[in-house]
Structure 1
């Protein structure tokens, strides 16, 4: 979400710039798809749609449009506030960031972000974090949680918001996103999966006064097999809302891309909730409405100064229905979708109202800060929603910690170790833990990146706090330059803390405008030099890294004294105790990398470099196709510094006794999809103009967005609607509902895609001397006879064991679905299994480069000590 702090000339765009549509490379198409499919046709949403349709049938035109649009920037307690329909019992809906917890409020938990969650490889922990986040949002009276984020897949290692997602693999992202959604919505909060779609770079993402937003040019197969995969799983989990991205896809802005919203989301993936815009991402009124947008946030236009309080929707939506440019059924469906999500989550039953104010930390303040003159009142009740959530946050931070290297068993530290601790990342920001708005700086312990996906810390348990609590014998040098007075001793262990940061591009930090343009993949604050200087003086060096994503470590990794390398990712508020538990061996590290660590940026394909300035619309063509992260490294036969999924432990594990059991017989294509069920029906007659008139004696707030029209305006619009003049609908427009594509049929797609094709079991044994948790990773290798070019290995499932004491065993169960063995056929527009009777290799192991147990789907047997295909 774009921060409201940066409004000004950078967000003002001209109509000409908005309408400009540059040519994209041949073959990258955003085909028109109309009309927007009606919601309510899947059985699991029937009751919520029934309730919603009863209300919509009795609502006025202005009441309907009021629910579809935000009331303006700073026009309420929440970062987003819809209008209401109080006559029928619907209050304003409160929408609030963000993916890792409550943004811009108090008495909340600053959870570790998505990239840290992904590094746990723990589905249960992913879910429990989602429940805890949902409880905090509900406790603050928030209807819509603006998370989780699976939009950036991590295609670009320097991308600014990769850390908000769960890793550089669609399946890891899918499990993380779906578990979060299920957790958040289990307590009645509407989750929002975002940003839809191919939002892989911060720079040039937005339409502005100079040029249109960047166009992500993605071929159809890559779109389905990589970028759509986590969205499909989130929709299958019943997510209530989808937020579109700022960028364009194949030349068409996501906010008015009918192929993405109508065809993919609402038809193929059977999405039953509502599609909303990101803040100031909507660039048109009627086109975005016809293309399937259901809610505009925060309602303001971005082509004129927002101080005037103008909107593409709200009153303009009302006008558009009256004058016939927007069919009545489009408004009815948008309103029904919003209310269906509201009822689906049970928010009509004693749901709390907002008790905080995102605009101030004071108890009293203006009710509408964006207004020139606003009434005042109590805006913040300081409700504490933290409960015991710090325990969940600490567990995530701890179980994500990834041990990359541990020579001479320098870790775990002995209780009486003499430590020299270096680096400003080890201690809290000296200016205050929340001194930088939206965490827009890299000072002190790096617990999260910056931007709208951040949160205020209730406290920061720093690594130094952790050492103090341990009673450790340490000396701390709070500097990022090697101090001359550290007095190295042969008995010392040097622990050096370094970091790498990124964020959203409305804030530039140390010359990095969101994406890591200035720092590249290097450590910040001369971290590489600091490590080398320390390694030259100390015999035992432990490097602890807080990072948003991949970094380079070639300058120092192989130095003889660098004995251990620990990636603590982004720990949120619980950076200290979680790290101490691992460093001192209370628990064995059990995190695994959610991305590949390269030896050089040249190891990546050139196409994943950040797109710089271009005349006209910036073009970002995904020519690498399916070969992102480890898929590329495998294909190019490039050995990384550390492979995707890598992670060491203080103990050792073996995988044995694997078994594969066929469950569902396979066919080349899935069984025929279920037909769509009935959807609500309404009158298609254009409402009377009187339904849009301003109520008598209405007390208006300047700049607040309302859905009403002056009588003369409403009457004039109705006159046009009743004339013979017809609106020039876009090419390919139709108002006839479609039966839906073969790949659809339920939430997430054809339900047969998710049938289990094979069950796989494997026994993991702790063969070491310490307790620990193991992660079994399952990758699929397609048969060589497949006519489709397919990555050598692709992650398809994973499972984390309980903590196993030495000698203990546990049988883990995994599964491979029909979709896992399929490819997207761009000709038939369906998922197909390329070689039905072929021998698909099911590889099991502890990382993508340590797979030596193979099961074959053709033979139905498993064998150990196999040579991995990579």
Structure 2
């Protein structure tokens, strides 16, 4: 496909946006405010996203091609693009630079396939790990979400592909997302659920996708408080807002609220909006404003020079992007515990037994709107066979006959159990009467789906998780294998937290690899045998008791989102997590020293610390900055993440890391005065390896006076 992702002709060179709008008829302007051709394209391809979708902004008469959309949290879903590890895995890298590179690779593949609008930046906060689409976001912490989402957006827009940050806002229950009403107070909204969106937008992101749910009684696609009062008037967002796809709009008056484009087809913004303007119900200026926003962004990407002269088709799933996908898989894997069994010694571990149905399954995650169809997927079994030689690797059993698998495990130098979930158990909720192409399942996944149907599972494809533990048959498999093989390793494949209480005491090591993308199987043996040290850190809290998380009802249509979740909730209630936020082991050890913290002239902070690799392996460390608030002006979390870095250090090597904290990241929102305030008083500054690091490096800074930052 030729690179044709902006606009034909010279209209943006010869006319201002205002002149173009004046040239358009009302009918033409309204037609630019919705997508078109979605259903015909889908009917032809039988698979969601097989081709770019016309997503608004087009005008054939003036030669304006408009927006061509693709989803993209794991990669461009058009064609056979690179499938990267899921967003949650990339969140576990805590690596802004790596995420920028992923965004750039996505942009290159988007341009090569005619896409100029990419729905890839999902920063919905993980309130509860049972959320079905947890894999599409980065984790439970707002600061971390904003940093990672900004990096992805900037990497993508470097090549003039419009980034979309989504889903705005408070979207974190899947099954009832079309009609869920989320109630929340102003402090919770401002401090917990919106800061990451603001950070991504202020980093330059050019478009926003509204979410399906309601917030405080009003659908997000027509929520003026969110789309105009906050997004436009407070945050000065100048891009366009488009709806989520299908059932994202419920009235033409969404345009007055600040929604610029209805996708995928004009259910409310076509004839309904046109008639509302003609009848005087909606001013034509509302339409003009939206069209100006859309054209302004199209002009921006059209007039900005591209870093590359061309974007040929051979960029799609090229070798460089496959290597990048493997690198991300390696750096995202989180080593949960290790009782002196990893890394495997190549002189002692020759014959490996592999267990579990997921070992041989192409399992890259959700098979709904974020599904990528890569040219290949390396399974865990294939990766181990390629690394050790197929004669040294045996697929020796699964959960269908755990007893036989356990007996077979005794024969091997090491046993690897692949456990976790698939698109059947978690992901986008796809009712059985909707076809997104999901019926084209691999044989092994089809058998899992058949089993789910026989058990009467309500949502055979995706949806929110009903349990945070592994399925009973997988737990039995782990127990049987570990009872006969002392070098049993469990690899967890999942989009968020998995509770391990039933088997943690009997397994010497476990690693969470999330949905590791098309190169995940190639990364796995390199991690297990020490070619590369694990360095992923959990971007969420893993509980010992599921009741320690916030309430989560997957069938509710009304819910209250409170101030507390994640590690702040565990801190408040003094619950000991199984694994804290930020946890992850390496094959080396690190020591922190020499912490210094100063107030900057702008009211923010600069914190420096020295990190030393005191172990015997080259490895990546992830020092994290936490601030403990005075909490005198308002109740606040015991601590909040406000910085992180990544340092690759050789044994004995030292390096200094610097954390810079912006003034707003120090503030709390005063709903009475409608302003952000930085408290006075003692602020404890901590550099730690996790939210529960008992050996953290600490210092105190006294803020002499309160500072009012405004809105």
Deviation string 1:760-808 (CA, Å, 9 cap, x unpaired) is: 1111111001100110101111115x2211010111110001x211011
1:544 aligns with 2:491: yes
1:238 aligns with 2:204: yes
1:633 aligns with 2:570: yes
State the match for 2:429 in structure 1.
Answer: 505
Pair 1:350–1:636, CA change in 2 (3 A): closer
State the match for 1:720 in structure 2.
Answer: none
Deviation at 1:482, TM superposition (A): 2.1
CA distance in 2, matches of 1:158, 1:61: 46
Given candidates 269, 276, 290, the residue that maps to 1:334 is 290
State the match for 2:553 in structure 1.
Answer: 610
Deviation string 1:707-744 (CA, Å, 9 cap, x unpaired) is: xxxxxxxxxxxxxxxxxxxxxxxxxxxxxxxxxxxxxx
**How do 1:168-567 residues align onto structure 2 when only pairs under 5 Å count?**
168-206=140-178, 213-301=179-267, 312-346=268-302, 385-387=316-318, 388-417=320-349, 418-427=351-360, 444-472=361-389, 473-480=392-399, 481-482=401-402, 484=404, 486-489=407-410, 492-501=413-422, 502-507=426-431, 510=452, 511=457, 513=459, 519-524=466-471, 526-559=473-506, 562-567=507-512
CA distance in 1, matches of 2:465, 2:248: 30
Looking at CA atoms only, which structure, 1 or 2, has the larger radius of gyration? Answer: 1
Deviates more, 1:226-235 or 1:521-530: 521-530
Q: Is the 8 A contact 1:286 1:325 kept in 2?
A: no
Q: Is the 8 A contact 1:544 1:567 kept in 2?
A: yes
Q: Is the 8 A contact 1:75 1:81 kept in 2?
A: no
1:162 aligns with 2:6: no
SS of the residue 1:90 aligns to:
coil
Deviation at 1:580, TM superposition (A): 1.6
Deviation string 1:222-271 (CA, Å, 9 cap, x unpaired) is: 11111101100111011111010111001111111111111111111111
CA distance in 1, matches of 2:380, 2:334: 16
**How do 1:565-584 residues align onto structure 2 when only pairs under 5 Å count?**
565-584=510-529
Q: Is the 8 A contact 1:79 1:97 kept in 2?
A: no
Q: Is the 8 A contact 2:239 2:293 kept in 1?
A: yes
CA distance in 1, matches of 2:662, 2:472: 46
Deviation at 1:665, TM superposition (A): 5.2
**How do 1:94-133 residues align onto structure 2 when only pairs under 5 Å count?**
94-106=68-80, 108-133=81-106
Deviation at 1:347, TM superposition (A): 6.4
Deviation string 1:466-496 (CA, Å, 9 cap, x unpaired) is: 2122225232125223252654448621111
Deviates more, 1:787-796 or 1:274-283: 274-283
State the match for 2:48 in structure 1.
Answer: none
Q: Is the 8 A contact 1:452 1:504 kept in 2?
A: yes
State the match for 1:832 in structure 2.
Answer: 677
Q: Is the 8 A contact 2:418 2:490 kept in 1?
A: yes
1:87 aligns with 2:20: no
CA distance in 2, matches of 1:773, 1:557: 25
CA distance in 1, matches of 2:263, 2:518: 30
Contiguous gaps of at least 5 residues in structure 1? 1-46, 207-212, 302-311, 356-380, 428-443, 667-756, 861-870
Deviation at 1:52, TM superposition (A): 2.6
CA distance in 2, matches of 1:468, 1:534: 20
CA distance in 2, matches of 1:275, 1:48: 25
In the alignment of these two chains, the number of paired residues is 650
Pair 1:117–1:845, CA change in 2 (3 A): same
SS of the residue 2:402 aligns to:
coil
Q: Is the 8 A contact 2:536 2:584 kept in 1?
A: yes
Deviation string 1:22-78 (CA, Å, 9 cap, x unpaired) is: xxxxxxxxxxxxxxxxxxxxxxxxx99994333223322222222111114324542
Given candidates 597, 607, 613, the residue that maps to 1:660 is 597
CA distance in 1, matches of 2:148, 2:617: 28
Measured on the aligned residues, the alpha-carbon RMSD in Å equals 2.5
Given candidates 526, 531, 534, the residue that maps to 1:586 is 531
**How do 1:31-70 residues align onto structure 2 when only pairs under 5 Å count?**
51-70=16-35
CA distance in 2, matches of 1:463, 1:611: 32
**How do 1:467-866 residues align onto structure 2 when only pairs under 5 Å count?**
467-472=384-389, 473-480=392-399, 481-482=401-402, 484=404, 486-489=407-410, 492-501=413-422, 502-507=426-431, 510=452, 511=457, 513=459, 519-524=466-471, 526-559=473-506, 562-605=507-550, 607=551, 609-612=552-555, 618-622=557-561, 625-664=562-601, 666=603, 757-784=604-631, 786-801=632-647, 803-835=648-680, 838-850=681-693, 852-858=696-702
Deviation string 1:173-222 (CA, Å, 9 cap, x unpaired) is: 1111110100111100001100011111112221xxxxxx1101111111
Deviation at 1:586, TM superposition (A): 0.8
Contiguous gaps of at least 5 residues in structure 2? 1-11, 42-50, 433-448, 705-711
TM-score scaled to structure 1, two decimals? 0.71
Deviation string 1:488-540 (CA, Å, 9 cap, x unpaired) is: 44862111110124111124663363666564112247211111111222222
Deviation at 1:384, TM superposition (A): 5.5
SS of the residue 1:321 aligns to:
helix
Q: Is the 8 A contact 1:596 1:640 kept in 2?
A: yes
